[in-house]
C-alpha cells in the first residue's frame, strides 16, 4: 500500500520548496557526492552517445532495408522481444525491484545484499523459461501483430522473430544489472552499454549493403543476408548485456545463486507486480493494436498503388526519433530520481518527494521543450539527413517526418507522465498507475481505430501518432490531479513559472529555425545538402537564441546546467 498521504513530512508546509540547485546538489545514497544534476549529466552523456550511434544504426538499417515490406517484417519481429519482455518482466524490474532493493538495504545492509541475490536468481530463471516459451510461440506473435502478412513476408517475419526472441533473456538480465548498479549509486554503465549494441548493428547494416545489389525483399533475400541480420541484431544485445558485468564487479556485486526466500518476500513482489502487470498489459495491448493497424495500412498502401512507405516502418522510425530527447534527459533524470524518491517515500517525507519531482521535471524540460519545437519546425530536414539514403527515397523520409511531427506534440506530456509514474512507484503504489493506464490505453486504441477507418491510407500512421499524443495528455492530467491530492500539492506555481519562461524563450528558436528552413528551401530546394544546411544552421542558431533568452529571463534550471558545463571546461574549476 502507498504511504498515508497524511503522514509526517520532513519539511514544514510553510517552508519554501528546495530550489533546483538544492535538489541537484543533494548527495547520492552512496555518500560519494554528486546529486541529481551530476548523475543525470553522466547518464545523459552516455545516453546521448548511445542515441547518436542508435540513430546511425537506424539510418544504416533504413538505407539497407528501405521502408517497405522487408523493413516492416524486420522491425515488427525486432519489436516483439521488447513487447514480450515488457509485458511479463520489464515493468516489474523497472518499477518494482528498484524500490524493493532500496528498502531492503535501508532495513539492513547484509539482508539487502542477500535479498538482491535471491531476486537476481529468480529473475534469471524466469527469463530463461520465458525465452524458451516465447521462441516456440513466434508464429502466433506474427499473426497477432502482422495478421496481414502473407507468403514470403510472413515466413521471413516468423524466422526473424525466432532469432530475435532470445534477446528477452539478455534484456532482462541487463535491466536487473542496471537496477543493481543504480541502487549502488552507479548510473553510467547502463547508459553507455547500448553503444556497443549500436556499433554491432551498424556494422551488420553496412555489411548487408555491401552484400546487396539492388532492392532486397522477402522473396529474394539470401540465407547469408538473412543470417547476417538475424544473428548480428541479437548479438548486439548480448554484447550490451555482457558489458555491464565489469561494472557490477566494480561496485562489489558477485552473483551467488540462491532461492532461500524469507517469508513474505515473494508475496511482497507479487502484490506490487500484479498491478504493474495490469499496467504493462494495457500498454502492450495498445502497442499490439497500433502495430497491427500500421502494418495493415502499409499493406493497403501497396494494394492501392501508393507504394510501400506508409506502414509500420515509418511509424517505428518516427517513434525512435521522438524518444531521443526523453531518453537523453528524461530517462536520465528518472533513473537518478527513483532511488531518491523511494528513500523519501519510505521515510514518509512527502514534501521531499514533491520537491524531487518538481526539480527533476523543471530540469528535464529545459531540453525537452526546445527539442519538441525543433522536431516540429525542422522535421523534414531531420529525416532527410538521417534516412534519405540507399533504398530510402526523399519521399519516404518525408513520411517519417510527418509522423515524427505528430509525435513531437506528445513529447512534453509524455515526459511529464512518465516522471509522475515513477512518483507512484517510489511510493510503492502500482495500483494507481494501472488504473490510469486504462484511460490512456482506451484513448490510444480508440483514436488509432478511428484514424485507420476515417483517414486516407497515406495519412493513417500520422493520425495514429496524433492519437498517441492525445492519450499522453489524458494520462498527464489524471496523474497530476491524483498526485496533487496525495502529496499535498505539486509545486505547480514554480513549475508553471519555469514553463512560462521557457515557452517565451522558445519563440526566438522557432522563428530562427523556420527562417533557416524557408530561406534554404527557396534558395537551394530540397534534398540532402539543403536539408543538412537548414538543420545545422536552424538548430545551432535557434538553440543559441533559446539559451540567451532563457538566461535573460533568469530560468534557474538553464543557468544551473550551463554553469555546470562551463565549470568543466579546461582551465575552469
Domain ranges of the chain: 24-490, 492-573
Residues 6+ apart with CB under 8 A from 346: 3, 102, 103, 106
* Cα-based distances in Å from 147 to 73, 144, 150, 157, 557: 12, 6, 8, 11, 48
pLDDT, one tens digit per residue, over 50-104 is 778 887 888 899 888 888 889 999 999 998 888 777 666 655 665 566 667 767 7
pLDDT of residue 116: 76
Name the DSSP letter for residue 458: G
* Cα-based distances in Å from 516 to 86, 371, 512: 41, 16, 6
Phi and psi of 441, rounded to 5°?
Answer: -65, -40
Give the span between the Cα atoms of 510 and 290, in whole angstroms: 31
* Cα-based distances in Å from 70 to 215, 226, 299: 10, 11, 12
Closest among 168, 28, 44, 167 to 102, alpha carbons compared: 28
The region of weakest confidence among 90-104, 110-124, 418-432 is: 90-104
pLDDT of residue 302: 83
Instruction: State mean pLDDT over 322-332.
Output: 74
Mean pLDDT, the chain, as a whole number? Answer: 81
pLDDT of residue 516: 94
The region of weakest confidence among 174-188, 255-269, 499-513 is: 255-269
Beta-carbon neighbour count of residue 257 at 10 Å?
11
Residue 132: its H or E element: helix 109-136
Grouping H, G, I as helix, E, B as strand and the rest as coil, residue 328 is helix
Give the span between the Cα atoms of 504 and 506, in whole angstroms: 5
Q: For the chain, what percent of residues have pLDDT higher than 70? A: 81
Instruction: State mean pLDDT over 479-488.
Output: 91
Give the span between the Cα atoms of 299 and 449, in whole angstroms: 16
Task: Inform me whether the pLDDT recorded for 522 exceeds 80.
Answer: yes
Task: Inform me whether the pLDDT recorded for 491 exceeds 60.
Answer: yes
Task: Inform me whether the pLDDT recorded for 235 exceeds 90.
Answer: yes
pLDDT of residue 569: 41
pLDDT of residue 90: 57
Task: Inform me whether the pLDDT recorded for 2 exceeds 50.
Answer: no
Distance of CA 219 to the CA centre of its chain: 34
pLDDT, one tens digit per residue, over 537-569 is 999 999 999 999 988 888 877 766 665 444 444
Task: Inform me whether the pLDDT recorded for 5 exceeds 50.
Answer: no
Q: For the chain, what percent of residues have pLDDT higher than 90? A: 34
pLDDT, one tens digit per residue, over 182-214 is 777 666 677 778 888 999 999 999 999 888 877
- Of the segments 176-185, 200-209, 428-437, which one has the largest average pLDDT value? 200-209
pLDDT of residue 232: 94
| CB 465 within 8 Å of CB 294 | no
| CB 299 within 8 Å of CB 460 | no
pLDDT of residue 1: 34
Which residue did the predictor score with more confidence, 553 or 19? 553
> How would residue 428 be classed by pLDDT, with cut points 50, 70 and 90?
confident
The C-alpha cell at 479 is 496523474
pLDDT of residue 392: 80
Name the DSSP letter for residue 261: P
pLDDT of residue 47: 65
Instruction: State mean pLDDT over 499-523.
Output: 93
Residue 174: its H or E element: helix 167-183
Instruction: State mean pLDDT over 222-238.
Output: 93
Amino acid at each position: 500500500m502507498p504511504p498515508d498521504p497524511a503522514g509526517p513530512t520532513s519539511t514544514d508546509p510553510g517552508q519554501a520548496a528546495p530550489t533546483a540547485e538544492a535538489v541537484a546538489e543533494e548527495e547520492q545514497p552512496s555518500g560519494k557526492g554528486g546529486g541529481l544534476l551530476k548523475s543525470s549529466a553522466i547518464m545523459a552523456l552516455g545516453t546521448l552517445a548511445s542515441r547518436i550511434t542508435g540513430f546511425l544504426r537506424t539510418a544504416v538499417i533504413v538505407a539497407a532495408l528501405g521502408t517497405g515490406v522487408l523493413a516492416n517484417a524486420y522491425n515488427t519481429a525486432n519489436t516483439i522481444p521488447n513487447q514480450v519482455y515488457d509485458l511479463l518482466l520489464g515493468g516489474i524490474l523497472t518499477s518494482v525491484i528498484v524500490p524493493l532493493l532500496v528498502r531492503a538495504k535501508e532495513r539492513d545492509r547484509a539482508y539487502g545484499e542477500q535479498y538482491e541475490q535471491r531476486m537476481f536468481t529468480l529473475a534469471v530463471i524466469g527469463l530463461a523459461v520465458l525465452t524458451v516459451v516465447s521462441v516456440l510461440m513466434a508464429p502466433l506473435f506474427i499473426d497477432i501483430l502482422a495478421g496481414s502478412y502473407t507468403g514470403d513476408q510472413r515466413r521471413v517475419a516468423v524466422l526473424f522473430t525466432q532469432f530475435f526472441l532470445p534477446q528477452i533473456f539478455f534484456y532482462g538480465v541487463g535491466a536487473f544489472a542496471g537496477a543493481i548498479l543504480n541502487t549502488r549509486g552507479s548510473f553510467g554503465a547502463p547508459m553507455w552499454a547500448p553503444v556497443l549494441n549500436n556499433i554491432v548493428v551498424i556494422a551488420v547494416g553496412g555489411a548487408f549493403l555491401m552484400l546487396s545489389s539492388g532492392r532486397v525483399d522477402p522473396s529474394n533475400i539470401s540465407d547469408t543476408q538473412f543470417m547476417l541480420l538475424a544473428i548480428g541484431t541479437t548479438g548486439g544485445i548480448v554484447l550490451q548485456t555482457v558489458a555491464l558485468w565489469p561494472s557490477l564487479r566494480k561496485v562489489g556485486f558477485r552473483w551467488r545463486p540462491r532461492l532461500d526466500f524469507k517469508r513474505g518476500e515473494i508475496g511482497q513482489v507479487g502484490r506490487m507486480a500484479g498491478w504493474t502487470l495490469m499496467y504493462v498489459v494495457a500498454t502492450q495491448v495498445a502497442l499490439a493494436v497500433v502495430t497491427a493497424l500500421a502494418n495493415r495500412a502499409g499493406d493497403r498502401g501497396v494494394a492501392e498503388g501508393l507504394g510501400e512507405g506508409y506502414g509500420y516502418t515509418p511509424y517505428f522510425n518516427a517513434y525512435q526519433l521522438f524518444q531521443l530527447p526523453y531518453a537523453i534527459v528524461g530517462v536520465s533524470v528518472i533513473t537518478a530520481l527513483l532511488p531518491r524518491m523511494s528513500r523519501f517515500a519510505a521515510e514518509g517525507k512527502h514534501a521531499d518527494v514533491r520537491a524531487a519531482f518538481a526539480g527533476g521535471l523543471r530540469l528535464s524540460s529545459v531540453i525537452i521543450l526546445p527539442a519538441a519545437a525543433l522536431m516540429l519546425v525542422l522535421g523534414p530536414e531531420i529525416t532527410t539527413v538521417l534516412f534519405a539514403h540507399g533504398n530510402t527515397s526523399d519521399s519516404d523520409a518525408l513520411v517519417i517526418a510527418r509522423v515524427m511531427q505528430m509525435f513531437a506534440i506528445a513529447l512534453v506530456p509524455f515526459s511529464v507522465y512518465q516522471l509522475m509514474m515513477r512518483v507512484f512507484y517510489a511510493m510503492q503504489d502500482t495500483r494507481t498507475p494501472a488504473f490510469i493506464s486504462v484511460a490512456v490505453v482506451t484513448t490510444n486504441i480508440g483514436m488509432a481505430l478511428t484514424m485507420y477507418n476515417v483517414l486516407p491510407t497515406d495519412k493513417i500512421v500520422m493520425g495514429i501518432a496524433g492519437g498517441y499524443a492525445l492519450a499522453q495528455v489524458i494520462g498527464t492530467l489524471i496523474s497530476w490531479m491524483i498526485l496533487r491530492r496525495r502529496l499535498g500539492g505539486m509545486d505547480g506555481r514554480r513549475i508553471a513559472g519555469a514553463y512560462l519562461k521557457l515557452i517565451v524563450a522558445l519563440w526566438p528558436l522557432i522563428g530562427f529555425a523556420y527562417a533557416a528552413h524557408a530561406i534554404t528551401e527557396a534558395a537551394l530546394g530540397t534534398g540532402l545538402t539543403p536539408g543538412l544546411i537548414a538543420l545545422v544552421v536552424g538548430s545551432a542558431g535557434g538553440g543559441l537564441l533559446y539559451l540567451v533568452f532563457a538566461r535573460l529571463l533568469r530560468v534557474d534550471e538553464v543557468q544551473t546546467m550551463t554553469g555546470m558545463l562551463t565549470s568543466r571546461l579546461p582551465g575552469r574549476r
